[in-house]
Structure 1
């Protein structure tokens, strides 16, 4: 069977997530010709919009942007994608450390002292994170000590009450999507620093990081970006081998497709980038790094009801629970639509445990939790949809990659540094809002500018 003819371009981009699409558009605007090779049959990467019911889009992947996500706001405006605020009116429902189900005001009154403890730890985290340069965390004055312990071990050393410690764990896992014992304390501080302060990350309402949504779903962003570079986009083209020299690259895809260019931008997660073969092989330091950057564990489950009945009861659709299965939930109703939609988050151990269960068993466990928090009406959804990321061949996890102990200090400088004609992008390589869509845009722009400088400077 004859192979397709080789595609020639100035710049080859591997991956059509936001980073790859932004990189391709940027080099195209600079007068260079890109070609984007996407392994999947769709664009978007870790963004995926599907319908939970006819005309009701929900986000199985990235969903929100925050108030300081300036690149994403500008991109949405440019692409003509409207935004709207996340609903956040009413009380959160709590269920922590044997408290039973409590509404927010009662929970805060009963555990005011414990919440004060937590606030002190968050302020300390902000102070320590301020010492971490996001472009080079390994250069922090105490990097060696911080990278030698896990975030969980540091949390355990703060003499917190069970309620405060549990709440801190839930909020952190809600961001990193792995248990805190798997993440170095330096990586936690890097995450806080790259995103601002803890109030941007750990707000119980998902505050600073999750204030705004997109009309039509987040999938509108990569779809409209792809339309701008559609003549340069190839789907169903998994990259298997990258041959590289001082002045050229040849990229080989499964099925015999090849692309030749002067530079390549690998815009997929480090773990997946490490599964591509390179000829000549990459330095061992880079390969050792990608071996130590696993994608996180996350899934989302959506319950669709005829109406958002919890709002009438003064609840905002958010729960925080250590009983589970979901540790957190969110009201994800659409403006102008009568349906009520509750999103349940399963992250870290919860995703690993419940994501491997049969769908009906998982749904039953989640339904029982929603009934505890929102009453019997929660037992009768009109529709249900969930999605887990570890089984998806071209993502193998979500939302992000996390670095365990001793990774930043031993291998971190290989994360975004170009290797000859090979450049790296993906939100995991960003220095501002890493692991978010905002970081994906930054990483795509940075990698594209490296290529533009090299080829036109």
Structure 2
């Protein structure tokens, strides 16, 4: 769209992440005119693929979909983006609670009892999660009790061995990107319920949330969506003010651009939505909500080698460790490419601590960890790159917003409920696979359909 100062549309959309562009496409299909205002110089939001070497893209942002992510599989097929399975052959390497580095077979043999404890707790989580209605989690029978404690406190009360408790923490932080001491137990159960069962959240093999990747990188999805609505997207347009009345909105951006419409969809994370000025001001409960919805802390670090040498030793490239700096890793090699690529995750406290170190110091610490697990060949990568999401001006954290104690029961009703002509859409507001790409599509479609229904009436 030309960089004009005044734009008229049926619906103004704030944010060109996946939710915003899905909403725009759905509105266009309904013969309504959207305009998408994006603060950044690119589309995609928390999706970010960068080609760090010729022909070798890495995913600094969202990377996987899972077997039950039907909307994302359908979207990829529609856009002509091919998919391929995540590599999972071989053994995981463990180093937990002073065990030293152990291959998966040895770890499972030595700690069979502890793993049985963990399985018992996961099944109990599944049972409790079924009592949480995803549309209204604050109405769960034990909502007040569950929202008054943290997930970490509930974990601590289960009588787990150090190995089982540590594994549970690592797996949960890998999903929420914050320590379990910061998250309401009700929010954990809500997250499980929106995704099915714990096995779908925690597994990387069949049935898990991380089973499939996109040929060319995840950014192929927003890039191709943007091509369909290119004349309706304005980049470098940070929204500062939304003025709203009973049937109109005026959205003002830094630099003077103004967009007017009949409805607005704010398709950014709740904490960023709370930084926009509204006239008249939003209700106190909505503002109090956004003050209590911090984004998670996460970063990804990629080591690129001339070959995936760990595979020859029978490893799948995954490590699970409480020694660190990374708690987990993943083989992210590309099909039909000879390079070996290992992705290391730093989430929660690890992202906060090591994300602040000088790059060379952080790289050295991560390299030492890989050497402990995979030997001296890990010491000399051809290339290294990492990225911490809280430093990105228009994101300020990943993977999603997490609700601490008392937030769902005190403020949860304001999370996705429209306020007059203002609608909300981001994966944080989804009721199916919240915090995932699937959730972003769910949220965008829901907000767009609500507006279609309103304007049709």
TM-score norm. by structure 2 comes to 0.99
Matches within 5 A, 1:249-268: 249-268=249-268
Give the 3-state SS of the residue equivalent to 2:325 in structure 1: coil
Give the 3-state SS of the residue equivalent to 1:390 in structure 2: helix
Give the 3-state SS of the residue equivalent to 2:369 in structure 1: helix
Corresponding residue for residue 389 of structure 2: 389
Paired residues of 1:318 and 1:328 also in contact (CA < 8 A): yes
List per-residue Cα deviations over 1:282-305 (Å, max 9, x = no partner): 001111101000000000000000
For 1:31 and 1:203, the matched residues in 2 are separated by: 41
Paired residues of 2:203 and 2:210 also in contact (CA < 8 A): no
Corresponding residue for residue 68 of structure 1: 68
For 1:415 and 1:248, the matched residues in 2 are separated by: 22
For 1:76 and 1:218, the matched residues in 2 are separated by: 10
Q: Is residue 91 of structure 1 aligned with residue 91 of structure 2?
A: yes
Corresponding residue for residue 439 of structure 1: 439
Unaligned runs of 5+ in 2: none
For 1:201 and 1:350, the matched residues in 2 are separated by: 21
**Superposition RMSD in Å:** 0.9
List per-residue Cα deviations over 1:113-149 (Å, max 9, x = no partner): 0000000000000000000001110010000000000
For residue 456 of structure 1, report the CA deviation from its aligned partner: 1.2
Matches within 5 A, 1:9-408: 9-203=9-203, 208-408=208-408
Paired residues of 1:152 and 1:181 also in contact (CA < 8 A): yes
For 1:66 and 1:4, the matched residues in 2 are separated by: 41
TM-score norm. by structure 1 comes to 0.99
For 1:338 and 1:225, the matched residues in 2 are separated by: 30
Give the 3-state SS of the residue equivalent to 2:36 in structure 1: strand
Paired residues of 2:204 and 2:210 also in contact (CA < 8 A): no
For 1:4 and 1:27, the matched residues in 2 are separated by: 22
List per-residue Cα deviations over 1:295-350 (Å, max 9, x = no partner): 00000000000000000000000000000000000000000000000000000000
Corresponding residue for residue 7 of structure 1: 7
Paired residues of 1:143 and 1:186 also in contact (CA < 8 A): yes
Paired residues of 1:89 and 1:316 also in contact (CA < 8 A): yes
For 2:206 and 2:241, the matched residues in 1 are separated by: 40
Paired residues of 2:92 and 2:319 also in contact (CA < 8 A): yes
Paired residues of 2:24 and 2:36 also in contact (CA < 8 A): yes
Paired residues of 1:4 and 1:256 also in contact (CA < 8 A): no
For 1:313 and 1:234, the matched residues in 2 are separated by: 50
Paired residues of 2:68 and 2:207 also in contact (CA < 8 A): no
For residue 52 of structure 1, report the CA deviation from its aligned partner: 2.6
For 1:207 and 1:214, the matched residues in 2 are separated by: 17
Corresponding residue for residue 455 of structure 2: 455
Q: Is residue 410 of structure 1 aligned with residue 410 of structure 2?
A: yes
For residue 204 of structure 1, report the CA deviation from its aligned partner: 6.4
For residue 54 of structure 1, report the CA deviation from its aligned partner: 1.7
For residue 51 of structure 1, report the CA deviation from its aligned partner: 1.7
For 1:398 and 1:206, the matched residues in 2 are separated by: 25
For residue 207 of structure 1, report the CA deviation from its aligned partner: 5.8
For residue 206 of structure 1, report the CA deviation from its aligned partner: 9.3
Give the 3-state SS of the residue equivalent to 2:259 in structure 1: strand
- C-alpha distance 204-33 of structure 1, shift in aligned 2 (>3 A): closer
Give the 3-state SS of the residue equivalent to 2:68 in structure 1: coil
Paired residues of 2:67 and 2:206 also in contact (CA < 8 A): no
Aligned length: 455
Moved over 3 A (4+): 204-207
Give the 3-state SS of the residue equivalent to 2:453 in structure 1: helix
Paired residues of 1:425 and 1:443 also in contact (CA < 8 A): yes
For 2:383 and 2:234, the matched residues in 1 are separated by: 35
For residue 203 of structure 1, report the CA deviation from its aligned partner: 2.4
Give the 3-state SS of the residue equivalent to 1:189 in structure 2: helix
For residue 53 of structure 1, report the CA deviation from its aligned partner: 1.6
For residue 5 of structure 1, report the CA deviation from its aligned partner: 3.0
For 1:327 and 1:393, the matched residues in 2 are separated by: 26
For 2:53 and 2:116, the matched residues in 1 are separated by: 42
For 1:278 and 1:174, the matched residues in 2 are separated by: 35
